[in-house]
Chains A and B, each alone.
Chain A
Amino acid sequence: MKKQSRSFRNVSENPCNMCMPLGGIIAFKGIQGSMTLLHGSQGCATYMRRTISEHYSEPIDVASSSLNEKGTVFGGEANLKKGLENVCLLYQPRIIGVLTTCLAETIGEDIQRITADYKLEKQRPELPIINVPTPGYGGSHSEGYWHTVKKITAGLAKETPKHSKLNLIIPHISAADIRELKRLLRLMTIEFTLLPDYSDTLDAPYAETYQKIPSGGTSIEDIATMPGAPATIELGITVEEGVSPGKYLENEFGVPLYRLPLPVGIENTNLFFHTLKEITGKEIPEEIQRERGRLLDGMFDSHKHNFQGKAVIFGEPEQVFSATKLCLENGVTPKIMATGSRTRKIDQLLAEELKKFEHVDQETVILSDTDFSIIMEKCRQMGVNLAIGHSEGKILTEREGISLVRYGFPVHDRVGGQRLLSVGYQGTLIFLDRITNTLLENKYKNYRARMFEKYYPLPSPAECELKAR
């Protein structure tokens, strides 16, 4: 197994990741009554809104302080304050998230001070404003996401008497996945605070009257009481400790932390339920047991097809890890595991997993901080026949003929990215079916023609001789 990172390169060709503030916007979307303002120039906000809109098919209102030349030279304080005021007028948010962009960071804006000033000047002491420095050059969107969730937690959590609501902190997963996690916890009759919950705000049901800030999201009050929880489960084993919200709650308030992988794949899902059982002492209900049985049944049914799969898996680290596990358990060989993020943790975690499975005796490679020009090159070398990841992987289909199973963010060339279900036993099986069916489709597409070409003609004497040798 080889590891490789791009850092030595001078140019990124066809990126595998986006920039920090985008992750921050997603995180704030999961907070009830929130609005986000990007401090920087107008373009960044518009591009990110567009990208998120395409995936979620939801209006994504993100304000910008629209820094112009003057603001850039003399400081953007006035712009930021005006931006905040206009956001208050237009949206009446309960909470505002202020994220920075490269520009604001480069000119050295002190958003903490400016927003504090603003609250004083406009006499809005009770309005929570969470400031998160997220320079685009500081990391990928998944780093921006975790960084923001941590800042939100740190900004709102308060010393609270002990209670029984469990904290569940999630990575950037689909809205359907969030709803599934909530369903499973309810089945186990566990009370919980899920952070950040954008399952309604980014996948809102049609309603007769349009709401500028869609209802739903984790409430400020619930976040405030997270320190009183019996434990935190953080679905983020690839997350660096410095940006882990669960770690923060553990360090500051002594809330026991369980860091788990996303419950995708049988092992990860088992682990998830066992941990819940361990924390709460509650039994895993019959209904969930049956879902597990059904997953096993499905895995057995499809195993031979899956064994044909040689996969490239790419995207955000948490997704890459869980999808790799799913592949391993089902006999699909993960050939290339790639992420545009700079996290180092994933390399080691993946390496350990790969060792556990015997069928992975062939060469595999782990790429971090990578891009699609490298991924494509590797695919060509390593005989990959299946891609698992977000829509940017369409380039692999277009240029290399490798079918793509869409998973993660963004999904912009198909509908329903927000409804892709992949967690829990049930979600895992649906995800696995997507993989198996893609392999089957490829197999049957030209199976007759291929077999005819291969076996119908009489082999030439030369070919026979070759075989004999």
Chain B
Amino acid sequence: MDISSDAMDGIERLATDGRKGLLGLCAAESGYTLRRPLLSSFETAPIAVNCEVKKMHENIRPIPAIEERKDSIQTKGRTRQELKCDTDSVAGCVSQRACVYCGARVVLNPITDAIHLVHGPIGCASYTWDIRGSLTSGADLFRFSFSTDLEELDVIFGGEKKLARAIDDLTAKYHPKLIFVYSTCIVGVIGDDLEAVCRAAAEKHGIQVIPVQSSGFAGNKSAGYRAACDALLNLIKPEDNQQIEKDKTINYLGDFNLAGELWIIRNYLKRIGIELNVAFTGDSSYETLKTATKASFNIVQCAGSMIYLANKMKELYNIPYLNVSFLGLEDTSESLRRIAKTFNDLEIMRRTEELIKMETVSIIGEIQYYRQRLQGKKAAVYVGGGYKAISLIKQFRELGIEVVMIGTQTGSKEEYATINNLVNDGTVIMDDTNPSELERFILEKEADLLVGGVKERPLAYKMGIAFIDHNHDRRHPLSGYAGAVNFAREVYSTVCSPVWKYRKRGDKNEKAEQKFPQCERKSL
């Protein structure tokens, strides 16, 4: 293989700089000799930071203004007790979280040929119309917004009849095989019997009409994930307990095909000789989901939303699962290897190594280029799920960036424990945070960039720091090797943009001002 010397240089540097990860392994296994031995664990190796500019604020102990939020924030190395998570949001704290309905919609929305009918007032549907970047290779009915648009009278007299008529109209117009009916808050209160209406409609039209119990107030976003998983279980259930014959394919849980991410991973799997059966739920359809139970095992990426489904499928259909993550070089290669291993097939394993080598080599030069310019920067992270957060810590490490603040909307206890293990002492960890806390810790920790979604973006820019979009609205893939380069490029494009040079000079910013023009190549 023809490897440019620059790229090779990159492999070596990455491999020897203390965060070996997969690059190191890849280089080592592919027979390139390294001048220095690899370190075996990245946890123990501190990140090189230009200490003169960036002294940690050791003496600031985060004291949240709101007593109730206290246990949901901790600093690694200083707080012993477990982080409080998976609770209801605190009133008045401007939580960044959405609702049960939002969680359910995120998971089910990518099912391409389904009608997603929101039973409720218009707003809930308006705000979620085609806001996500999921792609389809077939039908695109899922991009339409359907709502029963409940009005005052419906609220008083109940919305069941209107819902039934809505389903009639939609069936006549679009001939769908599958309709999801989402309940919203007021439906939960006015007491419409969703189950009954859906059952009757299904019978009448001979299609599947699945109620999604997603009344917004009944828990948080995680409850919505669960409601969606229940709806999916309902959908994949084989008819009349018929025995499904297993084949050698696998299902992929927790990829929503944002900007084609699913296709990227599916093709990797194909290249190493593994056939993907169906993904939950990126680019899936009624027909493909119906075949889900024949797969020999499941890989689970977005565990926060899908672990419940994975466990159920194991229990009901005897399909074991494996947690994976395709975010970042390290996780991608590692996940591919673990998937290959479960097949216990030498040919598959050989092809996997070949693919890892080839893909890594093809991007390492570019990643190295960015790394040289990003080394020593500090990141603050606030994302939806735990798996994303965990992967981001590693991904930033691949770029020489330390995560100094990290939080999620719906992370679980286990995920927070992993996060705690991965980050350096002094890193602030928080659950279900709000703009005030974000602002405070970004300042305290002197973060150079924030990772978040649409609501967090303007906060970062108002504070004059870089920002990375990491949400379901994005239009560029972050999965796999292609995604790893995209990510690095995005970080570089925002952190090293010339615009930050023009932030006004003032007491506080002077230091920061000098820092930015230094996005230049640094010797490692």
A residues sitting closer than 8 Å to B (CB atoms) are 9-15, 17-22, 37, 40-51, 53-54, 56-69, 71-72, 79-80, 82-87, 89-91, 101-103, 106-107, 135-138, 140, 204, 206-210, 212, 373, 392, 395
Whether B122 and A15, one on each chain, are in contact in the complex, defined by CB atoms closer than 8 angstroms, is yes
Q: How many residue pairs, one in A and one in B, have C-beta atoms under 8 Å apart?
A: 234
Chain A residues with CB below 8 A from B188, complex form = 72
Task: Please pick, from B89, B123, B453, B457, the residue contacting A66 in the complex, using a CB distance under 8 A.
Answer: B89
Chain A residues with CB below 8 A from B99, complex form = 41-44, 46
How far is it, in angstroms, between the C-alpha of A53 and the C-alpha of B469 when the chains are bound?
A: 14
CB distance from A77 to the nearest CB of B (A): 11
Chain B residues with CB below 8 A from A79, complex form = 91
Q: Does B363 contact A (CB under 8 A)?
A: no
Given known pairs A68-B217, A206-B462, A212-B435, the reply for A46 and B90 (CB within 8 Å) is no
Interface string of B71-108 (1 = CB under 8 A from A): 00000000000000000111111111111111000000
| CB contact list, B219-264 vs A, under 8 A | 219-220
Chain A residues with CB below 8 A from B100, complex form = 43
How far is it, in angstroms, between the C-alpha of A59 and the C-alpha of B442 when the chains are bound?
A: 15
The stretch among B4-12, B17-25, B125-133, B371-379 that forms the contact with chain A is B125-133
CB distance from A342 to the nearest CB of B (A): 9
CB distance from A64 to the nearest CB of B (A): 7
How far is it, in angstroms, between the C-alpha of A59 and the C-alpha of B190 when the chains are bound?
A: 34
Interface string of B103-142 (1 = CB under 8 A from A): 0000000000000010011111111111000000000000
How far is it, in angstroms, between the C-alpha of A57 and the C-alpha of B150 when the chains are bound?
A: 31
Given known pairs A12-B147, A57-B461, A59-B435, the reply for A102 and B121 (CB within 8 Å) is yes
CB distance from A114 to the nearest CB of B (A): 12
A-B contact pairs, 20 of them (CB 8 A): A10-B148, A12-B122, A12-B148, A12-B149, A17-B126, A42-B216, A53-B454, A56-B458, A58-B462, A59-B435, A59-B462, A63-B92, A64-B91, A64-B95, A90-B436, A136-B123, A137-B121, A204-B462, A208-B509, A392-B129
How far is it, in angstroms, between the C-alpha of A59 and the C-alpha of B150 when the chains are bound?
A: 30
What is the size, in residues, of chain B's interface with A at 8 Å between Cβ atoms?
76
Q: Does B508 contact A (CB under 8 A)?
A: yes
How far is it, in angstroms, between the C-alpha of A14 and the C-alpha of B168 when the chains are bound?
A: 18
Residue of B89, B120, B126, B185 ringed by the most chain A CB atoms within 10 A = B126
Task: Please pick, from A18, A44, A50, the residue contacting B455 in the complex, using a CB distance under 8 A.
Answer: A50
Q: Does B29 contact A (CB under 8 A)?
A: no
Whether A57 and B216, one on each chain, are in contact in the complex, defined by CB atoms closer than 8 angstroms, is no
Whether B186 and A42, one on each chain, are in contact in the complex, defined by CB atoms closer than 8 angstroms, is no
Whether B92 and A15, one on each chain, are in contact in the complex, defined by CB atoms closer than 8 angstroms, is no
Chain A residues with CB below 8 A from B455, complex form = 46, 49-50, 53, 59-60
Whether A137 and B122, one on each chain, are in contact in the complex, defined by CB atoms closer than 8 angstroms, is yes
Chain A residues with CB below 8 A from B219, complex form = 68-69
Whether A208 and B89, one on each chain, are in contact in the complex, defined by CB atoms closer than 8 angstroms, is no
How far is it, in angstroms, between the C-alpha of A40 and the C-alpha of B89 when the chains are bound?
A: 12
Q: Which 6 A-B pairs have the closest CB atoms?
A: A43-B99, A19-B123, A86-B92, A83-B92, A47-B127, A83-B91
Q: Chain B: interface secondary structure?
A: loop
How far is it, in angstroms, between the C-alpha of A208 and the C-alpha of B98 when the chains are bound?
A: 30
| CB contact list, B298-347 vs A, under 8 A | none
Whether A40 and B185, one on each chain, are in contact in the complex, defined by CB atoms closer than 8 angstroms, is yes
Q: Does B276 contact A (CB under 8 A)?
A: no
Whether A43 and B98, one on each chain, are in contact in the complex, defined by CB atoms closer than 8 angstroms, is yes
Residue of A102, A135, A212 ringed by the most chain B CB atoms within 10 A = A102
User: B154: nearest residue on chain A (CB-CB)?
Assistant: A137
How far is it, in angstroms, between the C-alpha of A212 and the C-alpha of B94 when the chains are bound?
A: 12
List 12 additional A-B contacts (Cβ < 8 Å) besides A9-B169, A210-B463.
A11-B170, A15-B147, A19-B126, A46-B97, A47-B98, A47-B127, A58-B462, A62-B94, A68-B219, A83-B92, A208-B508, A208-B509
Given known pairs A14-B145, A50-B454, A107-B189, the reply for A63 and B123 (CB within 8 Å) is no
How far is it, in angstroms, between the C-alpha of A18 and the C-alpha of B454 when the chains are bound?
A: 18
Whether B101 and A43, one on each chain, are in contact in the complex, defined by CB atoms closer than 8 angstroms, is yes
How far is it, in angstroms, between the C-alpha of A20 and the C-alpha of B435 when the chains are bound?
A: 24
Given known pairs A54-B454, A137-B152, the reply for A90 and B170 (CB within 8 Å) is no
Given known pairs A13-B145, A59-B459, the reply for A64 and B506 (CB within 8 Å) is no
User: B435: nearest residue on chain A (CB-CB)?
Assistant: A61
Chain B residues with CB below 8 A from A63, complex form = 91-94
Task: Please pick, from A41, A51, A82, the residue contacting B216 in the complex, using a CB distance under 8 A.
Answer: A41
Whether B92 and A44, one on each chain, are in contact in the complex, defined by CB atoms closer than 8 angstroms, is no
Chain A residues with CB below 8 A from B70, complex form = none
Q: Does B218 contact A (CB under 8 A)?
A: yes
Whether B126 and A18, one on each chain, are in contact in the complex, defined by CB atoms closer than 8 angstroms, is yes
Whether A47 and B123, one on each chain, are in contact in the complex, defined by CB atoms closer than 8 angstroms, is yes
Chain A residues with CB below 8 A from B66, complex form = 86, 89-90
User: A54: nearest residue on chain B (CB-CB)?
Assistant: B454
How far is it, in angstroms, between the C-alpha of A43 and the C-alpha of B88 when the chains are bound?
A: 12
Task: Please pick, from A18, A208, A395, the residue contacting B122 in the complex, using a CB distance under 8 A.
Answer: A18
CB distance from B245 to the nearest CB of A (A): 40
CB distance from A131 to the nearest CB of B (A): 16
How far is it, in angstroms, between the C-alpha of A90 and the C-alpha of B94 when the chains are bound?
A: 10
Given known pairs A19-B123, A47-B123, A82-B92, the reply for A42 and B97 (CB within 8 Å) is yes
Chain A residues with CB below 8 A from B148, complex form = 10-12
Chain A residues with CB below 8 A from B121, complex form = 19, 102, 135-137
CB distance from B167 to the nearest CB of A (A): 8
Chain B residues with CB below 8 A from A82, complex form = 90-92
Whether A42 and B436, one on each chain, are in contact in the complex, defined by CB atoms closer than 8 angstroms, is no
Chain A residues with CB below 8 A from B184, complex form = 102
CB distance from A31 to the nearest CB of B (A): 18
| CB contact list, B467-501 vs A, under 8 A | none
CB distance from A306 to the nearest CB of B (A): 31
Chain B residues with CB below 8 A from A140, complex form = 122
Given known pairs A46-B98, A86-B91, A136-B123, the reply for A106 and B458 (CB within 8 Å) is no
How far is it, in angstroms, between the C-alpha of A87 and the C-alpha of B92 when the chains are bound?
A: 5
Given known pairs A42-B97, A46-B99, A103-B189, the reply for A210 and B462 (CB within 8 Å) is yes
Chain B residues with CB below 8 A from A51, complex form = 127
CB distance from B380 to the nearest CB of A (A): 14
CB distance from A107 to the nearest CB of B (A): 6
Chain B residues with CB below 8 A from A208, complex form = 464, 503-504, 506, 508-509
How far is it, in angstroms, between the C-alpha of A41 and the C-alpha of B217 when the chains are bound?
A: 5
User: A204: nearest residue on chain B (CB-CB)?
Assistant: B462
Chain A residues with CB below 8 A from B145, complex form = 12-15
Chain B residues with CB below 8 A from A47, complex form = 98, 102, 123-124, 127-128
How far is it, in angstroms, between the C-alpha of A43 and the C-alpha of B99 when the chains are bound?
A: 4
Chain A residues with CB below 8 A from B170, complex form = 11
Task: Please pick, from A11, A53, A61, A69, the residue contacting B94 in the complex, using a CB distance under 8 A.
Answer: A61
Chain B residues with CB below 8 A from A392, complex form = 129
Q: Does B32 contact A (CB under 8 A)?
A: no
Whether B462 and A10, one on each chain, are in contact in the complex, defined by CB atoms closer than 8 angstroms, is no
CB distance from A415 to the nearest CB of B (A): 12
Whether B92 and A85, one on each chain, are in contact in the complex, defined by CB atoms closer than 8 angstroms, is yes
Residue of B88, B461, B508 ringed by the most chain A CB atoms within 10 A = B88
Whether B152 and A138, one on each chain, are in contact in the complex, defined by CB atoms closer than 8 angstroms, is yes
How far is it, in angstroms, between the C-alpha of A53 and the C-alpha of B185 when the chains are bound?
A: 24
Residue of B90, B455, B503 ringed by the most chain A CB atoms within 10 A = B455
Q: Does B28 contact A (CB under 8 A)?
A: no
How far is it, in angstroms, between the C-alpha of A181 and the C-alpha of B454 when the chains are bound?
A: 30
| CB contact list, B165-197 vs A, under 8 A | 165-166, 168-170, 184-186, 188-190
CB distance from A243 to the nearest CB of B (A): 16
Whether A44 and B95, one on each chain, are in contact in the complex, defined by CB atoms closer than 8 angstroms, is no
How far is it, in angstroms, between the C-alpha of A380 and the C-alpha of B190 when the chains are bound?
A: 39
How far is it, in angstroms, between the C-alpha of A128 and the C-alpha of B384 when the chains are bound?
A: 35
Whether B129 and A14, one on each chain, are in contact in the complex, defined by CB atoms closer than 8 angstroms, is yes
Q: Does B199 contact A (CB under 8 A)?
A: no
How far is it, in angstroms, between the C-alpha of A366 and the C-alpha of B220 when the chains are bound?
A: 41
How far is it, in angstroms, between the C-alpha of A68 and the C-alpha of B91 when the chains are bound?
A: 10
